[in-house]
C-alpha cells in the first residue's frame, strides 16, 4: 500500500502546457523588400492611388491614411513630372502663337518655375503652420500638398489652354485645391480647421491683393500710353 503523502509516479504527472515563460520576445523586422516592390513605377502608382483617394474622398482622415507613404524619391518624381508637363504645355502654347524661341524658353522656365513654385509655396505654408503650432515635418507636409497640387496642376495645365473653359476650370480647380490644402494642413500638423484655414488663406489673400494691384497698375500704364 503506497503512502498517500508520496507524490505520484513521474509517468503519471501531465506535461506542462507549452506556454512561453515571461513576455514574448520583441518583434524583429525582416529585411526590406527588394525588386519590383521598390521600383519607381510602383512608387508612382502608389502616389497616384493616394492622390485619387484624397481628391475623391476629401477629409482629414483621408490624408491621415496616406502619410505613411511619404518619401523624398516619390515626392520629387511626382513634382518633377508635373513640372515637365507644365513646361511642355507652355512650349505648345508658344508654338501655336508662332514664337518658336518663346516656346523653348517656355519649356525651360516652365519646368523651373513649377519646381521652384511648389517648394517655395510649400515652405511658406510650412512656416505659417509652425507659427500656428503645427507639429508635422517638412517631408509629410510637402507630400500631402503634392497629392493635391500634382494631379490638379496637370488638369489645370492641360485644360487651361482652352480660352473660356480653361479659365472656368482654373477657378474651379483653384477653389477645390484650397479646400483640400486646408484639410491636408489640419491632418499633417494636427491643427484645428480654423487654424489650418488661416495657414492656407493668408498667402492666398496676399496673392490676390498683389494681383489686383498689378492689374490696376498695368491698366493705368496702358491708359497713360494711349493718351
- Residue for grid cell 497640387: 149
Do 147 and 51 touch, CB atoms closer than 8 A? yes
Q: Quote the pLDDT of residue 215.
A: 85
What cell was used for 62?
A: 483621408
Q: What are phi and psi of 171, to 5 degrees?
A: -65, -45
- Residue for grid cell 497698375: 217
Length of the chain in residues, anyone? 227
- pLDDT, tens digit (0-9, with 9 covering 90-100), for 35-68: 334 567 777 888 999 999 999 999 999 999 999 8
Distance between CA 16 and CA 177 in Å, rounded? 64
* Cα distances (Å, whole numbers) of residue 180 to 50, 79, 83: 13, 17, 20
Mean pLDDT score across all residues of the chain: 80
Distance between CA 46 and CA 103 in Å, rounded? 33
pTM of the model: 0.74
DSSP-derived secondary structure for 181-211: HHHHHHHHHT--HHHHHHHHHHHHHHHHHHH
Amino acid at each position: 500500500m503506497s503512502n498517500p503523502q508520496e507524490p505520484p509516479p513521474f509517468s503519471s504527472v501531465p506535461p506542462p502546457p507549452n506556454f512561453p515563460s515571461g513576455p514574448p520576445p520583441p518583434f524583429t523586422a525582416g529585411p526590406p523588400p527588394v525588386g519590383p516592390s521598390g521600383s519607381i513605377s510602383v512608387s508612382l502608382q502608389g502616389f497616384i492611388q493616394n492622390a485619387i483617394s484624397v481628391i475623391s474622398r476629401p477629409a482629414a482622415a483621408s490624408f491621415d491614411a496616406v502619410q505613411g507613404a511619404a518619401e523624398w524619391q516619390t515626392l520629387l518624381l511626382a513634382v518633377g513630372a508635373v513640372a515637365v508637363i507644365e513646361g511642355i504645355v507652355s512650349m505648345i502654347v508658344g508654338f501655336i502663337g508662332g514664337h518658336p524661341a518663346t516656346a523653348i524658353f517656355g519649356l525651360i522656365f516652365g519646368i523651373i518655375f513649377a519646381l521652384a513654385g511648389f517648394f517655395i509655396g510649400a515652405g511658406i505654408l510650412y512656416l505659417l503652420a509652425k507659427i500656428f503650432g503645427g507639429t508635422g515635418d517638412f517631408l509629410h507636409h510637402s507630400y500631402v500638398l503634392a497629392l493635391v497640387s500634382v494631379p490638379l496642376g496637370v488638369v489645370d495645365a492641360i485644360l487651361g489652354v482652352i480660352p473660356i473653359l480653361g479659365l472656368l476650370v482654373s477657378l474651379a480647380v483653384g477653389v477645390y485645391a484650397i479646400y483640400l490644402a486646408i484639410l491636408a494642413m489640419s491632418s499633417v500638423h494636427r491643427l484645428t480647421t480654423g487654424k489650418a484655414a488661416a495657414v492656407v488663406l493668408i498667402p492666398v489673400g496676399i496673392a490676390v491683393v498683389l494681383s489686383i494691384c498689378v492689374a490696376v497698375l498695368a491698366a493705368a500704364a496702358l491708359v497713360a500710353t494711349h493718351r
